[in-house]
Amino acid sequence: MANSASAKKRANQAEQRRQRNASHRSMMRTYLKATVAAIASADKAAAEAAYKKVVPVLDSSANKGIISRNKAARHKSRMNAQIKAL
């Protein structure tokens, strides 16, 4: 347990960041699942619309350090290839 005032503040800040990151990560996964579902349904228009929504979310997650830039790029690349294959 934190003993000094600065340690208590850092503990509070860490908890706030953890909750914010968890919320953003959950939102990102929801968008990813929606895009994957649209691709699986073989509806190209719906898949493209879902892809356009998920790209900014992935980029934002990468910029905030929630996921790595490579992971964001990997998701975008794979989904785009699957959409083009429809």
pLDDT in tens, 21-76: 999 999 999 999 999 999 999 999 999 999 999 999 999 999 999 999 999 999 99
- Position 17 in a domain: no
Domain span at residue 31 reads 25-85
- Position 73 in a domain: yes
The model carries a pTM of 0.84
Q: Specify the number of domains making up the chain.
A: 1
- Position 1 in a domain: no
Contacts of 27 (CB under 8 A, 6+ apart): 57
Say yes or no to pLDDT of 1 above 80. Answer: no
Say yes or no to pLDDT of 85 above 90. Answer: yes
- Position 67 in a domain: yes
- The Cα–Cα gap between 53 and 48 comes to 9
- Position 39 in a domain: yes
The structure tokens listed for 33 are: 């699942």
- The Cα–Cα gap between 58 and 75 comes to 8
